[in-house]
Structure 1
Amino acid sequence: MLLHKDGLIELNYDVVQDILSFRWPDLSGMTMPEIDFSLKKLIDTLRHYDIKNLLVDSRQSKTDLSKDEHLALLLRFSEYLMSTRLQKMARLATSDLSRENVVDFAVEEAVNRIGITFVFRNFTDEASALKWLGES
Protein backbone atom coordinates (compact mmCIF):
# COMPACT_ATOMS: atom_id res chain seq x y z
CA MET A 1 0.00 0.00 0.00
CA LEU A 2 1.44 3.36 -1.04
CA LEU A 3 1.46 5.67 2.00
CA HIS A 4 3.41 8.62 0.65
CA LYS A 5 5.10 9.74 -2.54
CA ASP A 6 6.78 13.00 -3.43
CA GLY A 7 9.77 14.09 -5.49
CA LEU A 8 12.26 12.51 -3.09
CA ILE A 9 10.74 9.50 -1.40
CA GLU A 10 8.13 6.81 -1.78
CA LEU A 11 6.86 4.87 1.23
CA ASN A 12 5.18 1.51 0.65
CA TYR A 13 3.65 -0.46 3.50
CA ASP A 14 3.05 -4.21 3.64
CA VAL A 15 0.31 -4.39 6.29
CA VAL A 16 0.45 -8.17 6.67
CA GLN A 17 4.21 -8.28 7.31
CA ASP A 18 4.30 -4.84 9.02
CA ILE A 19 7.16 -3.72 6.76
CA LEU A 20 7.62 -0.19 5.48
CA SER A 21 9.76 -0.07 2.33
CA PHE A 22 11.71 3.08 1.61
CA ARG A 23 14.07 3.80 -1.27
CA TRP A 24 16.93 5.97 0.02
CA PRO A 25 16.77 9.06 -2.21
CA ASP A 26 19.45 10.36 -4.54
CA LEU A 27 21.03 13.00 -2.33
CA SER A 28 23.05 14.61 -5.12
CA GLY A 29 22.32 18.32 -5.22
CA MET A 30 19.97 18.12 -2.24
CA THR A 31 20.13 20.58 0.62
CA MET A 32 20.17 19.37 4.21
CA PRO A 33 16.73 20.92 4.94
CA GLU A 34 15.25 18.97 1.99
CA ILE A 35 16.87 15.74 3.19
CA ASP A 36 15.72 16.33 6.77
CA PHE A 37 12.16 17.02 5.60
CA SER A 38 12.01 13.66 3.80
CA LEU A 39 13.51 11.76 6.72
CA LYS A 40 11.04 13.37 9.11
CA LYS A 41 8.18 12.32 6.80
CA LEU A 42 9.48 8.75 7.04
CA ILE A 43 9.70 8.99 10.84
CA ASP A 44 6.18 10.45 11.08
CA THR A 45 4.88 7.53 9.00
CA LEU A 46 6.66 4.97 11.21
CA ARG A 47 5.09 6.57 14.29
CA HIS A 48 1.60 7.07 12.86
CA TYR A 49 1.24 3.46 11.71
CA ASP A 50 3.33 2.07 14.61
CA ILE A 51 5.48 0.14 12.14
CA LYS A 52 8.04 -2.28 13.57
CA ASN A 53 10.05 -3.24 10.45
CA LEU A 54 11.81 -1.02 7.92
CA LEU A 55 13.41 -1.93 4.60
CA VAL A 56 15.75 0.75 3.24
CA ASP A 57 16.81 0.24 -0.37
CA SER A 58 20.11 2.07 -0.89
CA ARG A 59 21.20 0.19 -4.01
CA GLN A 60 20.50 2.99 -6.49
CA SER A 61 21.11 6.00 -4.27
CA LYS A 62 23.87 8.50 -4.93
CA THR A 63 25.32 11.28 -2.85
CA ASP A 64 27.66 14.20 -3.21
CA LEU A 65 27.92 14.65 0.56
CA SER A 66 31.35 14.47 2.12
CA LYS A 67 32.08 11.46 4.33
CA ASP A 68 31.65 13.66 7.43
CA GLU A 69 28.32 15.07 6.20
CA HIS A 70 27.11 11.59 5.27
CA LEU A 71 28.10 10.23 8.68
CA ALA A 72 26.33 13.11 10.46
CA LEU A 73 23.20 12.48 8.37
CA LEU A 74 23.18 8.77 9.17
CA LEU A 75 23.63 9.42 12.89
CA ARG A 76 20.81 11.97 12.85
CA PHE A 77 18.64 9.43 11.00
CA SER A 78 19.44 6.87 13.73
CA GLU A 79 18.42 9.37 16.40
CA TYR A 80 15.14 10.02 14.57
CA LEU A 81 14.49 6.27 14.39
CA MET A 82 14.95 6.02 18.16
CA SER A 83 11.78 8.10 18.56
CA THR A 84 9.75 5.30 16.92
CA ARG A 85 8.90 1.76 18.00
CA LEU A 86 11.03 0.27 15.22
CA GLN A 87 12.35 -3.20 16.02
CA LYS A 88 14.19 -4.24 12.87
CA MET A 89 15.82 -2.39 9.99
CA ALA A 90 17.13 -4.13 6.89
CA ARG A 91 19.23 -2.19 4.42
CA LEU A 92 19.96 -3.16 0.83
CA ALA A 93 23.59 -2.16 0.37
CA THR A 94 25.21 -0.23 -2.46
CA SER A 95 28.15 -1.51 -4.47
CA ASP A 96 30.19 1.57 -3.44
CA LEU A 97 32.75 0.33 -0.90
CA SER A 98 33.54 3.85 0.32
CA ARG A 99 29.87 4.52 1.15
CA GLU A 100 29.49 1.14 2.77
CA ASN A 101 32.46 1.92 5.02
CA VAL A 102 30.72 5.14 6.13
CA VAL A 103 27.51 3.18 6.82
CA ASP A 104 29.38 0.51 8.80
CA PHE A 105 31.08 3.20 10.89
CA ALA A 106 27.76 5.02 11.38
CA VAL A 107 26.11 1.82 12.64
CA GLU A 108 28.96 1.27 15.09
CA GLU A 109 28.65 4.87 16.29
CA ALA A 110 24.85 4.60 16.55
CA VAL A 111 25.20 1.54 18.76
CA ASN A 112 27.93 3.04 20.95
CA ARG A 113 26.86 6.70 21.18
CA ILE A 114 23.11 6.64 20.66
CA GLY A 115 22.35 3.17 21.97
CA ILE A 116 19.98 2.18 19.19
CA THR A 117 17.41 -0.34 20.35
CA PHE A 118 16.42 -1.79 16.98
CA VAL A 119 18.29 -4.58 15.21
CA PHE A 120 20.09 -3.58 12.00
CA ARG A 121 21.39 -5.77 9.17
CA ASN A 122 22.76 -5.12 5.70
CA PHE A 123 21.72 -7.33 2.79
CA THR A 124 22.67 -7.66 -0.85
CA ASP A 125 19.28 -8.94 -2.02
CA GLU A 126 15.71 -7.95 -1.25
CA ALA A 127 14.34 -11.48 -0.79
CA SER A 128 16.74 -12.24 2.08
CA ALA A 129 16.02 -8.88 3.71
CA LEU A 130 12.25 -9.38 3.54
CA LYS A 131 12.57 -12.92 4.89
CA TRP A 132 14.62 -11.67 7.84
CA LEU A 133 12.20 -8.82 8.55
CA GLY A 134 9.27 -11.24 8.47
CA GLU A 135 10.79 -13.51 11.12
CA SER A 136 9.65 -12.98 14.71
Structure 2
Amino acid sequence: MILFQNQLIVLDYDPSSDILSVVWPNVNPYDMLEIERSLQLLVEYIRDYDVKKLLIDSSKTEMHPEVDPEKYISMVTEFAKKLQKTRLQRSARIIHQDQVRETESNQVSEKVTQNVGLQIESRSFINREEAREWLCL
Protein backbone atom coordinates (compact mmCIF):
# COMPACT_ATOMS: atom_id res chain seq x y z
CA MET A 1 0.00 0.00 0.00
CA ILE A 2 1.44 3.35 -1.05
CA LEU A 3 1.56 5.65 2.00
CA PHE A 4 3.29 8.59 0.33
CA GLN A 5 4.71 9.52 -3.04
CA ASN A 6 6.47 12.56 -4.46
CA GLN A 7 8.98 13.14 -7.26
CA LEU A 8 11.80 11.74 -5.09
CA ILE A 9 10.44 8.84 -3.05
CA VAL A 10 7.63 6.33 -2.79
CA LEU A 11 6.83 4.84 0.62
CA ASP A 12 5.31 1.40 0.14
CA TYR A 13 4.06 -0.35 3.29
CA ASP A 14 3.22 -4.03 3.60
CA PRO A 15 1.17 -4.40 6.82
CA SER A 16 1.31 -8.21 6.74
CA SER A 17 5.11 -8.20 7.11
CA ASP A 18 5.41 -4.74 8.74
CA ILE A 19 7.98 -3.72 6.11
CA LEU A 20 8.15 -0.17 4.82
CA SER A 21 10.03 0.01 1.51
CA VAL A 22 11.63 3.07 -0.03
CA VAL A 23 13.84 3.60 -3.05
CA TRP A 24 16.60 5.94 -1.89
CA PRO A 25 16.47 9.11 -4.02
CA ASN A 26 19.18 10.32 -6.37
CA VAL A 27 21.15 13.04 -4.65
CA ASN A 28 21.55 16.33 -6.52
CA PRO A 29 22.62 19.67 -5.02
CA TYR A 30 19.36 21.34 -6.07
CA ASP A 31 17.24 18.60 -4.41
CA MET A 32 18.89 18.59 -0.97
CA LEU A 33 16.09 20.46 0.82
CA GLU A 34 13.42 18.29 -0.77
CA ILE A 35 15.38 15.12 0.06
CA GLU A 36 15.68 16.28 3.66
CA ARG A 37 11.93 16.88 3.82
CA SER A 38 11.24 13.49 2.23
CA LEU A 39 13.43 11.76 4.82
CA GLN A 40 11.56 13.60 7.57
CA LEU A 41 8.30 12.28 6.13
CA LEU A 42 9.79 8.79 6.05
CA VAL A 43 10.53 9.03 9.77
CA GLU A 44 7.02 10.34 10.45
CA TYR A 45 5.45 7.40 8.63
CA ILE A 46 7.69 4.95 10.50
CA ARG A 47 6.53 6.53 13.76
CA ASP A 48 2.85 6.85 12.79
CA TYR A 49 2.57 3.26 11.53
CA ASP A 50 4.88 1.92 14.27
CA VAL A 51 7.01 0.24 11.60
CA LYS A 52 9.64 -2.19 12.85
CA LYS A 53 11.29 -3.07 9.50
CA LEU A 54 12.66 -0.77 6.80
CA LEU A 55 13.81 -1.82 3.34
CA ILE A 56 15.95 0.76 1.54
CA ASP A 57 16.68 0.15 -2.13
CA SER A 58 19.80 2.10 -3.06
CA SER A 59 20.70 -0.15 -5.99
CA LYS A 60 20.25 2.62 -8.56
CA THR A 61 20.83 5.72 -6.46
CA GLU A 62 23.17 8.25 -8.05
CA MET A 63 25.17 10.91 -6.25
CA HIS A 64 25.83 14.05 -8.28
CA PRO A 65 29.54 14.98 -8.09
CA GLU A 66 28.69 18.54 -7.02
CA VAL A 67 26.95 17.41 -3.83
CA ASP A 68 28.83 18.62 -0.77
CA PRO A 69 29.73 15.37 1.05
CA GLU A 70 29.66 17.05 4.47
CA LYS A 71 26.16 18.41 3.89
CA TYR A 72 24.98 15.00 2.74
CA ILE A 73 26.53 13.25 5.75
CA SER A 74 24.96 15.84 8.03
CA MET A 75 21.54 15.26 6.45
CA VAL A 76 21.81 11.47 6.75
CA THR A 77 23.07 11.80 10.33
CA GLU A 78 19.98 13.82 11.27
CA PHE A 79 17.83 11.18 9.57
CA ALA A 80 19.54 8.43 11.62
CA LYS A 81 19.10 10.39 14.86
CA LYS A 82 15.39 10.69 14.16
CA LEU A 83 15.16 6.98 13.33
CA GLN A 84 16.69 6.22 16.75
CA LYS A 85 13.63 7.84 18.33
CA THR A 86 11.24 5.43 16.59
CA ARG A 87 10.57 1.76 17.36
CA LEU A 88 12.32 0.65 14.15
CA GLN A 89 14.25 -2.56 14.85
CA ARG A 90 15.75 -3.63 11.53
CA SER A 91 16.90 -1.95 8.36
CA ALA A 92 17.92 -3.78 5.19
CA ARG A 93 19.61 -2.01 2.32
CA ILE A 94 19.90 -3.24 -1.25
CA ILE A 95 23.39 -2.31 -2.39
CA HIS A 96 24.41 -0.42 -5.51
CA GLN A 97 25.78 -2.52 -8.36
CA ASP A 98 28.56 0.02 -9.04
CA GLN A 99 31.36 -0.89 -6.63
CA VAL A 100 32.72 2.69 -6.51
CA ARG A 101 29.29 4.05 -5.60
CA GLU A 102 28.80 1.28 -3.04
CA THR A 103 32.16 2.04 -1.42
CA GLU A 104 31.13 5.70 -1.09
CA SER A 105 27.82 4.64 0.42
CA ASN A 106 29.57 2.40 2.96
CA GLN A 107 31.86 5.26 3.98
CA VAL A 108 28.83 7.49 4.61
CA SER A 109 27.13 4.70 6.58
CA GLU A 110 30.19 4.19 8.76
CA LYS A 111 30.46 7.91 9.55
CA VAL A 112 26.77 8.16 10.36
CA THR A 113 26.84 5.06 12.56
CA GLN A 114 29.81 6.45 14.47
CA ASN A 115 28.20 9.90 14.83
CA VAL A 116 24.88 8.55 16.04
CA GLY A 117 25.74 5.24 17.70
CA LEU A 118 22.96 3.67 15.65
CA GLN A 119 21.22 0.87 17.55
CA ILE A 120 19.05 -0.38 14.69
CA GLU A 121 20.14 -3.76 13.34
CA SER A 122 21.20 -3.22 9.73
CA ARG A 123 22.44 -5.39 6.90
CA SER A 124 23.10 -4.98 3.21
CA PHE A 125 21.91 -7.32 0.47
CA ILE A 126 22.31 -7.71 -3.27
CA ASN A 127 18.58 -8.18 -3.98
CA ARG A 128 15.14 -7.45 -2.59
CA GLU A 129 14.22 -11.09 -1.94
CA GLU A 130 17.17 -11.72 0.40
CA ALA A 131 16.55 -8.42 2.18
CA ARG A 132 12.87 -9.19 2.77
CA GLU A 133 13.69 -12.71 3.92
CA TRP A 134 16.12 -11.36 6.56
CA LEU A 135 13.68 -8.66 7.68
CA CYS A 136 11.00 -11.32 8.22
CA LEU A 137 13.15 -13.56 10.43
- TM-score w.r.t. length of structure 2: 0.88
| Distance of 2:78 and 2:5 partners within structure 1 | 22
- Structure 1 equivalent of residue 101 of structure 2: 99
Matching of residues 1-136 of structure 1 within 5 Å:
1-64=1-64, 65-135=67-137
| Distance of 2:18 and 2:77 partners within structure 1 | 24
Q: Shift in Å at residue 29 of structure 1?
A: 4.6
What percent identity do the matched residue pairs reach? 33
Residue-pair matches, total: 135
Letter in 2 for 1:22: V
Letter in 2 for 1:86: L
Q: Look up the SS of the partner of 1:12 in the other structure.
A: strand
- TM-score w.r.t. length of structure 1: 0.88
Letter in 1 for 2:2: L
Gaps of 5+ in 1: none
Q: Structure 1: which 4+ aligned runs deviate by more than 4 Å?
A: none
**50-59 or 23-32, larger mean C-alpha shift:** 23-32
Structure 1 residues 102 and 69, CA, compared in 2 at 3 Å: closer, same or farther?
farther
Q: Look up the SS of the partner of 1:30 in the other structure.
A: helix
| Distance of 2:28 and 2:122 partners within structure 1 | 25
| Distance of 1:98 and 1:45 partners within structure 2 | 32
Contact 1:19 1:52 in 2 (8 A): yes
